[in-house]
Amino acid sequence: MSDLLAGMGRPSRRGAPPPDIVDLVRVEDRISFLYFEHCKINRSDNAITVRDDTGTTYVPAASVSVLMLGPGAAITHGAVVLLGECGATVIWVGENGVRMYAFGKPLTHSSALLQTQARLVTNRRTRLAVARLMYAKRFPGEDVSRLTMAQLRGREGVRVRRVYKQWSEKTGVDWDRRTYNPTNFDDATEINKALSAAHVCLYALAHAAIVSVGCSPGLGFVHTGHEKSFVYDVADLYKAELSIPVAFKTAADGPEDIGAETRRRMRDAVCDLKLLQRMVGDIKDLLLSAASPKEKAALAGKAALDPAANHLGLWDEKSGEVAAGRSYGAGEVGD
């Protein structure tokens, strides 16, 4: 015990200083995701090192959007700290499904988009407006401006069934219904395994994009009550275009490891579609389209969306905000 306490008292060796936020790669310009298994991940300055039987690979941490760790992967404290500082999302992918255990801090100091998101989601009229915008992106060419949520859900259900049927016919993959065991990946048909793997990649990317721009994963407009409600909202915008086709095409080829092959094809498709860039643009567009004129004026052109902006104020119920970093004595308090 004395040796342990003595060791705890020794000064730790300092690594490279954390990167400044203005030096970090924008999320839309990053590698979509990397998957590793049966390896040891460590830190070397501002890169992560991945060591396995074939050797060591160096990856600039600031260029990674999502790091997926499969069975047999071990990661050091230093590597997790670095990935967090760089705003990367880290998820552990197990044989019995996927769990989200960590995510990076935002690639902005501003809470402007988060405040707009919170205001929009807590007002019935504006929440419905954003939900309609989301469905409008999924139903191009259709007027959904007057539909209720019940009508939108019904239309979405018909659309998803039609998409599944179309890809089943195109690929020759038998399709019955979407069914899977969330605690056991292997307890499903091959097409349902492929869909689960593809959707998980999409959820991880949506989560990374949402967190990176400073929004809340839990404040959803269509989904509600879950810590990743907004993640599911954003991911649903791209399933018919991305994860469903990739899953059916992969299942049609019958690979030995359908989960791994689906992830590889998802990575290629994400790159081809420039998905991260689209996600960031769609998130901002959805929130700003339904924002008030005052919010739009505050967010446009200024500093609110500038990663280097490091604004901090104090809330005031009359004026909205007063300056922080000063002492408000009794003589300065208003009526």
Least Cα distance to 202 among 132, 260, 267, 254 occurs for 267
Whether 217 contacts 109, CB under 8 Å: no
85 belongs to an annotated ligand binding site: no
295 belongs to an annotated ligand binding site: no
Alpha-carbon span 64 to 27, nearest angstrom: 8
223 belongs to an annotated ligand binding site: yes
- Residue ranges at the known binding site: 156, 223, 236
- Residue ranges at the known binding site for Mn(2+): 156, 223, 236
